Amino acid sequence: MGEGIRPGFCCIEFVDSGADSFDPTLRNAQAAYANPEFSSITGLSGAPVYNARANALCGMVVRGSMNGSVCAIRYFDILDMMQLLTGVHDGQSKTFYRKSWRPLRRL
């Protein structure tokens, strides 16, 4: 058999680079590694995205790519995910809400 996806657990650090220009429910994050111990992020979709500064869950990975030592992901923002889950729970076919956030300060 060929090499398949093997489960593993690790902390991969990314830096949020803002909202996606095509889909306001998605956010982008990038990372660059000097000597990465991995060459692919296949299977990362569905992984939780955690904000270490806020000590909180902030989303779920939906897309990712790796080009050499540079890695990029798109993740579903937790605010939008909660709106979706609340609507599904309440049996709603649509929902309306305003989205606003404060950008994080760099330390």
Average pLDDT, rounded, for the chain: 85
Task: Answer yes or no: is pLDDT of 2 > 70.
Answer: no
- Using CA atoms, how far apart are residues 89 and 30, in angstroms rounded to an integer? 33
What pLDDT was estimated at residue 40? 85
Q: Is residue 49 scored above 90 in pLDDT? A: yes
Q: Are 42 and 5 in contact (CB under 8 A)?
A: yes
- Three-state DSSP at 95 gives coil
Residue 106 has pLDDT above 80, yes or no: no
Q: How confident is the model at residue 35 (pLDDT cuts 50, 70, 90)?
A: confident
pTM exceeds 0.85 = no
